């Protein structure tokens, strides 16, 4: 009986372990394995390929620009998202008439499918009939519909900011709510004490709110980093990474490669996976994950 006793935890933990092994570990192993195989475009495995998939990937002229762009993409989207969310969370933490409605409204971009949101933005930016361009024409910003001026998604210089905008738009609700939850945990007596000591509003925010908000902020930003790095539908539905590869991030690049070379695409996935782990590690290091709030 004693021996069975020892096994009891296993019975409870076992299913979860099996689940993780099946759903998380196994695909990772398969991904790494595939990256060393020669696979025809039609899915026929032709045997081992050594590191050739990786050699080919690193030799692609577009590889390094794509990696750099992915980094810009993550930093810009997460940066703007966090800044805007901090402000919004502060606002929604105040009592004002209609707060309930405003809070509900903020959920909308989150509740709508990302793909739908992206397609709607693509339509709004359509050079012939898009509402954003109609407004720009009426404001006199562009001479007429249909020309190159009205085609903001057609050039990387204007398309990439729009992509970032949409990504921020869909990321803000979750981040704001995570921060709102964080704000709710800050006890009010700390603020009272600060008030007694005559601290300025800015000082209070900087020295009390932000440090106490850090656990929520770290989690929210970290989830955003991973999400945004792997973000696919926004870019794919709005530009396909075009013109050329000039709006493609590494996830888009991986998907395009899948159309011609599955092994190389798997190699790109492995690189992507490594990048997420590295980014996460750097992020945790910077935000001093383990250090308790003083």
By CB under 8 A, name the one of 3, 6, 42, 97 that touches other proteins.
Answer: 42
Query: In Å, how far are 82, 183, 213, 222 from 171, measured between CA atoms?
Result: 9, 19, 18, 12
By CB under 8 A, name the one of 2, 3, 6, 15 that touches other proteins.
Answer: 15
CB 273, CB 28: distance < 8 Å: yes
Residue 100 neighbours by CB under 8 Å, 6+ apart = none
Q: Which stretch binds other proteins (CB under 8 A): 44-52, 113-121, 130-138, 199-207?
A: 44-52
By CB under 8 A, name the one of 11, 111, 286, 294 that touches other proteins.
Answer: 11
Residue 42 neighbours by CB under 8 Å, 6+ apart = none
CB 53, CB 263: distance < 8 Å: yes
We find the least distance from the C-beta atom of residue 148 to other proteins, in angstroms, to be: 4
We find the least distance from the C-beta atom of residue 168 to other proteins, in angstroms, to be: 22
For other proteins, give the closer residue by CB, 90 or 242.
Answer: 242
Binding positions for other proteins, 134-163, rule CB under 8 A: 144-148, 150-151, 153-155, 159
| Cα(191)–Cα(253) distance, integer angstroms | 49
Tell me the two tokens of residue 127. Answer: 């050079």
For other proteins, give the closer residue by CB, 3 or 95.
Answer: 3
For other proteins, give the closer residue by CB, 39 or 216.
Answer: 39
Binding positions for other proteins, 180-239, rule CB under 8 A: 239
66 binds other proteins (CB under 8 A): no
By CB under 8 A, name the one of 103, 120, 240, 287 that touches other proteins.
Answer: 240
| Cα(184)–Cα(279) distance, integer angstroms | 29
We find the least distance from the C-beta atom of residue 1 to other proteins, in angstroms, to be: 7
Binding positions for other proteins, 243-262, rule CB under 8 A: 243-245, 256-262
DSSP symbols for 96-143: -TTHHHHHHHHHHHHHS-HHHHHHHHHHHT-TTT-HHHHHHHHTTSSS
33 binds other proteins (CB under 8 A): no
């Amino acid at each position: 009986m004693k021996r069975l006793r020892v096994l009891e935890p296993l019975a409870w933990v076992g299913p979860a372990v099996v689940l993780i092994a099946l759903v998380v570990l196994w695909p990772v192993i398969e991904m790494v394995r595939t990256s060393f195989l020669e696979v025809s475009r039609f899915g026929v495995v032709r045997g081992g390929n050594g590191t050739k998939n990786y050699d080919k990937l690193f030799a692609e002229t577009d590889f390094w620009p794509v990696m750099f762009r992915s980094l810009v993409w993550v930093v810009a989207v997460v940066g703007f998202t966090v800044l805007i969310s901090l402000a919004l969370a502060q606002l929604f933490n105040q009592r004002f008439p209609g707060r309930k409605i405003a809070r509900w409204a903020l959920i909308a971009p989150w509740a709508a499918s990302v793909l739908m949101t992206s397609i709607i933005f693509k339509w709004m930016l359509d050079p012939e009939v898009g509402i954003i361009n109609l407004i720009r024409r009426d404001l006199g910003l562009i001479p007429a519909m249909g020309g190159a001026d009205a085609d903001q998604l057609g050039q990387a210089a204007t398309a990439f900011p729009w992509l970032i905008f949409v990504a921020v738009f869909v990321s803000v609700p979750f981040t704001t709510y995570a921060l709102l939850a964080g704000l709710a945990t800050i006890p009010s007596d700390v603020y009272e004490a600060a008030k007694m000591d005559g601290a300025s509003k800015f000082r209070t925010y900087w020295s009390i709110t932000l440090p106490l908000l850090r656990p929520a902020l770290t989690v929210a930003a970290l989830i955003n980093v991973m999400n945004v790095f792997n973000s696919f539908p926004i870019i794919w539905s709005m530009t396909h990474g075009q013109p050329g590869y000039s709006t493609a991030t590494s996830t888009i690049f991986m998907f395009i490669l899948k159309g011609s070379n599955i092994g190389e695409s798997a190699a790109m996935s492995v690189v992507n996976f490594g990048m997420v782990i590295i980014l996460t590690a750097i992020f945790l290091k910077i935000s001093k994950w383990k250090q308790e709030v003083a």
